[in-house]
Amino acid sequence: MWNLPERARVVEVGLRDGLQAIETPLSTDRKIAIVSEMIAAGFKEIEVASFAHPKVLPQLADAEAVLAGIPRPPDVRFRALVPNARGALRAAKCELDELTFVVPAEDGMALKNQGTTTDGLLDQLDEIREVSGGAGQRLIVAVACAFFSPCYGPVSKDARDKVVRKAIEVGADGVYLATTTGEETPLELFSGISETKHDFPDLEVGAHLHNRNGFAPANALAALSAGADWLESSVAGLGGDMWFPGDPSVLGNMATEDLIHLLDGMGISTGIDLNRVRHISEGLIEETKFPVSSFVSRGGTREELANATWD
């Protein structure tokens, strides 16, 4: 009925997409320690840094130092975001497995987020692919606002496919479709990912899940049912977009502990230890003072409720 897989890949993005929304930066040593905790929890794919200009994201200005200090298990893939070709050149000097380059499918978001149009960003893809390939780094193209965009509304399939086609043209190793606003519906996820997998059957396609009004858990299941190759989430639900209209604190990422709890409950294996993830999450909530958006952090798990006693 659900057409769900027995196993799901989960990419942890809290150290990048999460911390970029936190005004008070964590120390480099603390970030390195969190990476070690994530590895111990069973994560095999971790986004650890951003090569945005330090003046834009000072809380992530220590990308090179973080990458120089983290442990390097051979079965764990480390990834960083690059906003442009200059960022890719910085990343190429680091020991790094994979780069993510963000291209919004709608011009308004591209201009607000990266100061150029969607076409302007696509024009940079050839150079970024050349740089990443020369460094032996995989390239993932992130299609931001793949379904819905602020101050615009629903995004067309043609706009989404335009970015995907260019990613394939330059030889990207995969794309992910992002629910950037957190307002995207499960139907949009299912339709968009199904169409992309059908039209580009040799391409790996992930889903990057934001959460504004509680749609993310349903979107995760819709994405998996549509054939998504991986899901992206952030411990504690950290994240958001400081350029969006309104209060940025209402927009987080899907909390990784919520995602693991959901998948565990449905018999979908991730290889990630929920209790260890909760420990990481609790520490970050305390340190960052970020509003708690994680349902597991607020309400506990099924097992805890089952083992409770009536007063």
For residue 247, pLDDT over 80 is answered with no
pLDDT in tens, 130-156: 999 999 999 999 999 999 998 899 999
pLDDT in tens, 85-123: 999 999 999 999 999 999 999 999 999 888 999 999 999
What's the CA gap between 241 and 208, in Å, rounded? Answer: 14
pLDDT tier at 2 (50, 70, 90 boundaries)?
confident
For residue 254, pLDDT over 70 is answered with yes
pLDDT in tens, 35-57: 999 999 999 999 999 999 999 99
For residue 188, pLDDT over 90 is answered with yes
Stretch 209-216: mean pLDDT, rounded? 93
For residue 242, pLDDT over 80 is answered with no
Instruction: Please report, rounded to a whole number, the percentage of residues in the chain having pLDDT higher than 70.
Output: 96
Q: Please name each of the domains of the chain with its CATH number.
A: 10-306 (3.20.20.70)
